Amino acid sequence: GASTESFSQPSPRVPIGDNAEVQRFLEHFQTGYRRAVVERWIERSGRYAGMTQGVLRAKGLPEDLMFTAMIESGFNPVAVSRAGAKGLWQFMAPTARRYGLRVDRWVDERLGPEKSTVAAARYLGDLYAMFGSWELAKAAYNAGEMKVLRAMSVLGSRDFWELTRGQVLRDETKNFVPAIQAATLIGREPERYGFSASQSGPLAYELAPVPQGMQLARVAALAGLSLDALRELNPELWNKQTPPGGTYLLKFPLGTSQRF
| Nearest 10 degrees: Cα torsion 249, 251, 252, 258 | 20
For 209, the 3-state DSSP assignment is: strand
247: CB partners within 8 A, 6+ apart: 209, 210, 211, 212
Provide the annotated active-site residues: 72
Alpha-carbon span 71 to 135, nearest angstrom: 14
Quick one: CA dihedral 189, 193, 198, 203, positive or negative? negative
Q: Give the ranges where the chain is alpha helix by DSSP (H).
A: 20-30, 33-58, 66-73, 93-98, 113-131, 134-143, 145-155, 160-163, 171-188, 216-223, 227-233
